[in-house]
Amino acid sequence: MKEILSAQIFLFNTNKTKSVDFRVKELKKFKKILKENEDLLYKAIYTDFGKSEFETYMTELSGIYHEINIAVKKLKKWSKHKKVKTNFSNFPAKSYIIPEPLGNTLIIGAWNYPFNLSLTPVVASLAAGNTVVLKPSELPSETSKIMAKIINENFTKDYFHVIEGGEKETSELLKLKFDKIFFTGSIPVGKIVCQAAAKNLTPVTLELGGKSPTFVLADADIPISVKRIVWAKFLNAGQTCVAPDYVLVDKSIEKKFLNALKKEIEKNYKVENDITENYSRIINNKNFDRLNNLLDKEKIFCGGKINKKNRLITPTVMQNISFEDAIMKDEIFGPILPVIAFTNLNDAINKVKQRAKPLACYIYSKNKRLINKLLSEISFGGGAVNESLMHLTNPNLPFGGVGFSGIGNYHGEAGFRTFSHYKSILHKGFGFETKLKYFPYSAKKLKKLKNILE
């Protein structure tokens, strides 16, 4: 690890990665390599998750390609010196900001969308002109392996290299002095990363999780709301950081809403004991057991079937839930949707506000006043109105959390900014010079100074 980082430090100091042409060339090459190996990528995801090609393309690869395309197109503009106004006391001069790469970056990925969550930040870091060490999650072992293979075979290790491993290897990497650490994963490990980074004052971006609420107000279009919620919740069997974690539904439409959920699930997921093409399995036995323990039989409204051998849990809705139930304690990260009925919106908002700030929040309603009330009163990373999850597919919306759901953001230009330092420059000529700031100080000069500066 030390050797690789030393090689990356050496390369960065040659200034090679700072050239915009070099970055564009490498990003295009990266896309070409991914395209050429697409079949292997689909195969790896299928082995790890049992996921279809369609879903892998939609949730993993398309996002990476899109980010590469945008970076290639916009890189010149993003990396330009940005002129800003010069203040009066500095006249005559020019002022500008130079975006510069941070240097040698470490990217640590999560398992649930292993390609997307590892490679999208890589695109941003390379676009910004950095070198990258990528440590993908070890849990989906096939995807980790294939990333290491195709990247390490096609890029030199002093520029972009994959190091595979779990806790042990990540801990070793965290002892090294990188110029930036970008971490996606759980809150407890986020804290470990942050503590390790603090020792070297390394800036971090933390993309974490949390319990993302979904509000369904009395005036919401139930069939459309349900369609969008069900798709977002059960995609990847609920193992999505921005999945609607739980629903807060107005009591007056609770029954109608629950029945519509059941109908939509039955229409889309004919999952019994075998894995079907369009439904993922739970990543490992530990998570399967954790989720199984959350299935309170008394409260299951629909679903709740399990197959331990295949690590399968059918899309499940739980009813008569309160904020005190076990399922409301931690992020669910699985295909179980608890529904809480509320009679007073302010009470529901207060309950959400008493918890850690979520990564996402979704609001289903036509009532502009209530939508604005929720948007302004609850703090969360990002979200959507009358939609779930899709906000993260818009590269113009910086994606990230707040409070316990994360620090910093990325996607599109936000990703470039995350991996850049903005160097501020005041640029003068040798011509004009004022005596005002120099010795000797005097009462007259002070008066003049006050006149100018106040």
Binding residues for ligand NAD, rule: CB under 6 A, are 108-112, 117, 135, 137-138, 166-167, 170-171, 184-186, 189, 192, 207-209, 241, 331, 333, 359, 401, 406
Q: Which is nearer to ligand NAD, 17 or 239 (CB)?
A: 239
Residue 131 Cβ, how far from ligand NAD at the closest point, in Å? 19
Distance of CA 84 to the CA centre of its chain: 31
Using the structure block, give the residue that is written with the tokens 């010069």.
Answer: 86
Candidates 60, 67, 207, 254; catalytic one: 207
Task: Assess whether 241 carries a catalytic annotation.
Answer: yes
Q: At what angle do helices 20-36 and 141-154 cross, to 10 degrees?
A: 130
Residue 183 Cβ, how far from ligand NAD at the closest point, in Å? 7
φ, ψ of residue 85 to 5 degrees: the values are -70, 150
Find the distance separating the first CA and the last CA of the chain, reported in whole Å: 55
What letter does residue 399 receive in the DSSP assignment? Answer: B
Residue 193 Cβ, how far from ligand NAD at the closest point, in Å? 7
Nearest to 337 by CA among 430, 253, 262, 233: 233
Q: Which is nearer to ligand NAD, 123 or 226 (CB)?
A: 123
Task: Assess whether 272 carries a catalytic annotation.
Answer: no
Residue 360 Cβ, how far from ligand NAD at the closest point, in Å? 9
Q: Which is nearer to ligand NAD, 150 or 208 (CB)?
A: 208
Measure the CA–CA gap between 33 and 38, rounded to whole angstroms: 8
Measured CA angle at 388 (ends 382, 394), to 5 deg:
60
Residue 181 Cβ, how far from ligand NAD at the closest point, in Å? 11
Measure the CA–CA gap between 152 and 133, rounded to whole angstroms: 11
Q: Which is nearer to ligand NAD, 4 or 345 (CB)?
A: 4
Residue 86 Cβ, how far from ligand NAD at the closest point, in Å? 39
Q: Which is nearer to ligand NAD, 103 or 185 (CB)?
A: 185
| 3-state DSSP assignment of residue 167 | helix
Q: Which is nearer to ligand NAD, 72 or 242 (CB)?
A: 242
What letter does residue 215 receive in the DSSP assignment? Answer: E
* 367 residue type, one letter: N
Measure the CA–CA gap between 197 and 204, rounded to whole angstroms: 7
Candidates 60, 67, 138, 241; catalytic one: 241
Measure the CA–CA gap between 340 and 441, rounded to whole angstroms: 70
Residue 169 Cβ, how far from ligand NAD at the closest point, in Å? 8
Please state, as a whole number, how many other Cβ atoms lie within 10 Å of the Cβ of residue 77.
9
Nearest to 168 by CA among 152, 192, 145: 192
Residue 310 Cβ, how far from ligand NAD at the closest point, in Å? 20
Using the structure block, give the residue that is written with the tokens 């295009």.
Answer: 28
Q: Which is nearer to ligand NAD, 174 or 340 (CB)?
A: 174
| 3-state DSSP assignment of residue 75 | helix
User: What are the structure tokens assigned to 79, written together?
Assistant: 């990396």
220, 253 Cβ separation under 8 angstroms = yes
Measure the CA–CA gap between 333 and 5, rounded to whole angstroms: 34
Q: Which is nearer to ligand NAD, 301 or 404 (CB)?
A: 404
Please state, as a whole number, how many other Cβ atoms lie within 10 Å of the Cβ of residue 95.
16
DSSP string computed for 237-257? GG--TTS--EEEEEGGGHHHH
220, 254 Cβ separation under 8 angstroms = no
Q: Taking CB positions, which residue lies at the least distance from ligand NAD?
A: 209
The catalytic residues are: 207, 241
